[in-house]
Structure 1
Amino acid sequence: MLSRRTLLATPLALPAIARAAWVPDRPVTITVPFSAGGPTDVIARLVAEGMGHDLGQAVVVENVTGAGGTIAAARVANARPDGTTLMFHHIGHASAATLYRKLPYDVQGSFAPLGLASDAAMTVVARPDFPAADLAGVMAAIKREGDKLTLAHSGLGAANQLCGMLLQHAAGTALTSVVFRGSAPAITELMAGRIDLFCDQATNTATFLRENRIKGYAATLPQRVPGLDLPTTAEAGEPSLAMSTWHGLYAPKATPAEIRARLSEALRASLREERLLARLADLVTEPASQDRATEAFHTRFLAEEVARWRPIIQAAGQYAD
């Protein structure tokens, strides 16, 4: 993961590339599959603003919620492939390929990935009086106590559900899942000591960790999260727990190459804007490096994520019809 200084310098080091000629003749809509105000929505709006500056055309965000993001995805998959209807989605787009037995679209085959936009660490956290001293102790407690321990998540396809699955997969045992309507009520119950464990975005947990209102054990990115006194999962002896809540931008599959190239170019331009970089830092989120915010990288990465999460979800046996 590159620093912000490196990110800003990267484009100057790249070979000159001819600017794609396509210009949208009307506003571009970025469909977000989650409610306004959440991390995905906030990042999408920052990206939309930056892309609008680069495209010279308004880029607006539309929230289309429901069914773990699949309603929004189906709408974009079937939209006219003219570059004016896009989707901004997180890791749940990859997991949907396995979580849902039937989808009205193909996770990989119905979309043209335009580039990644951001990465956020997940954090393994617990109630304030949880007895484990470190992540090794957490894993030992999970193996020893099993379903006597409770694990929070906020529903099918949520990043915190996936992180919880990963935690249980690594431990080789199942916990008792408690489902909440979002991260905020889960953290409230965790602080009160009524839930044992949670695995959620640093965006949501950072303030409570800094105030010692919950107990933190590790963050899941390869490098440490600035401002959080937590080891990485690799440093803590559990490298298999590495993951991120990543976000990416998509167009319908049949979108012409010239349009895809121009939109991807605008995405990279947005990720160089100082306002976006500062706001992402506030959200404890890293901007995607310029080489990750490309069609080629995003396409490979999506395939890898679909393949990675399939056996983990299958082992958990948690599906939607």
Structure 2
Amino acid sequence: NRPFSVTEMKLETPTVYQQKLRAPLLERSLSHGNYVVKKAVPRLPARLNAEKFREAIKNVDTFIFDADGVLWLGDAALPGSARTVELLLSLKKRVIVLTNNATKSRANYAKKLAKLGFPPELNKDSLVNPAAVVAEVLSLAGIKNSGKKVYLIGAQGVRDEMDEVGIDYFGFGPEPEDNSDGSAFMFDIDLEIPVDEVGAVVVGYEKHFDYHKLMKAANYLQESDCLFIATNEDETCPGPNPSFITPDAGPLVAAVRVASGRDPITVGKPNSPAFDYICRRWKIDPTRTMMVGDRTNTDVMFGRDHGLKTLLVLSGCHQLEDVMENHMQDKDNMVPDYFADSLGVLSL
């Protein structure tokens, strides 16, 4: 009776994470086909410049780009990133943007891309984020027709994507101010919705996260049929000031995991739900697809674990020192095939 663990999400079949769920809500198939992924072999990545990049992508049809630290940093496009995307589109390559940031909907990210000068081919239909994957997983789980609601700890992007598919949720925003004296509130919390009427708890980045939300999530998850879904488990967010730590969804997910005793289905990179989402929509050939990102423990691992070529750009979170450390520790699925200083240098 042990809850499903995201660490068990192997690529035996692309639906293994669905099959291992105990909750009966997941009845529809999430299958997109089977892929055989070879075990990573230890090696150090090759540095790419514009000339070597052209050679390396001859057998690549699809590019999957992370956003923060790759295409942009904060509210500014990284120099040359739009130019490199335009180059790939001119070569008839498919470009998909896959971010672990669920604070905005795909529609709002499309507006940001346009504002930052990226080509119009990068629109809502070429974007994937955990909010969209959460909404689809919940839809496939049958939540909408189950009569149950979703308890949401998450940002506006998750709300927007769930609204789009008609999923009923509650819990968004700050909790009412607690005016109790002492610790009595801990034993008399109002759950708003009865435990047996909640079909899922979704946890992502939430600036209003507090003790009340943690208590509610932990109690709803005591119902064995209640799904526990996390948008992503990134520890921090990249930003313009590298010395300032901005916690991401990971610490919040960890708190709910410990309090509830449950492990989540995490849909963002490096996990399989995001990969399945992409495969269902674009029917990609993993052997002819390249993942481009700035984090070894999400972007590179996502690519390596799913049989993609991988390129690490050093314009965001992780640097060559991190790659070397991964190599020395035999963390081969966090060592990319290639690296470059930034996306922009590949189209000079």
Length-normalised TM-score, structure 2: 0.32
Which structure would you say has the larger RCO, counting Cα contacts within 8 Å and 6 or more residues apart? 1
Give the structure with the larger helix fraction: 1
Length-normalised TM-score, structure 1: 0.34
Give the structure with the larger strand fraction: 1
